[in-house]
Chains A and B, each alone.
Chain A
Amino acid sequence: MLVLTRRPGEAILIGPDVEVVVLSADPQQVRLGIRAPREVAVLRRELLQQVQTENRHAATPAPLAMTAALASLRHEGRL
């Protein structure tokens, strides 16, 4: 990992198209501004990890009583 130290107002260039600007920093958090072309996805890392985890939980057999659960949900007008 490349480690750089920046002060608020300073920026980093990543490749020809991406710029990361340090907008402000305090002991609790750093505000970053990202300039990138629309085809480059920019995401908070923990968010991707959370979605990965949620998908792993999702890929399990559906409850076997699905037909009965569906019937009761329809009967209650929830569907």
Chain B
Amino acid sequence: MQVQTTRFGPLETLDLPDDAALLFPDGLPGFEQHSAFALVEDRTYLPFCWLQSLADPNVRFLMVDPAVVDPDYHPTVTGSDADALALEAGDAFRVYAILVARDDLRTATANLKAPVLVNWPRKLGRQVILMDDRYGLRHPLVPADSAAPSRGELRADACSS
């Protein structure tokens, strides 16, 4: 399917596999009217990818595999969120964190408080606000201390095509 995006500023048209289309029945907070999205995954930019609204090329979200920010990040889904995603206990789901990046990817922050969860086989998505107080809206993508350890093996299963 063809998808229009302004992910880098200028309008571009992407050729994506049909299975990249996702339904977010409740949209996203702040974008409640947008329910049809495409997951834009490009090997060049892994572990980053985009959630692109199909209704407006200007509505797109840069996302990252949250394991890049916190390798121990394993949110659980229950209640109305699990129901909305048609997830049964034990079902796997994909997790992404939306990034806010202004001029420089290095100073980007990841929203670990409200991850984007995707039931990939059912093509359903939802941004879930976690009750867990450990996580905030703005985790630095790159730790402030320069002595941060190397991340080792890249966990690419969240943003892999």
Contacts and interface: CB of A to CB of B under 8 A. Distances in A.
Bin the interface of chain A by size: 20 to 34
B80 A51 contact: no
B129 A43 contact: yes
A77 B5 CA distance: 30
Bin the interface of chain B by size: 35 or more
Contacts of A52: 29-30
A39 B31 CA distance: 21
Contact of A62 (B29, B59, B101, B106): B101
A3 interface: no
A38 interface: yes
Interface of A: 38-41, 43, 47-48, 50-67, 69-70, 72-73, 76-79
Nearest to B7: A62
Nearest to B26: A41
Interface stretch (B13-21, B40-48, B86-94): B40-48
Contacts of A61: 6-9
Contacts of A39: 79-80, 83
Interface string B42-59: 001101101000000011
Contact of B150 (A51, A64, A77): A77
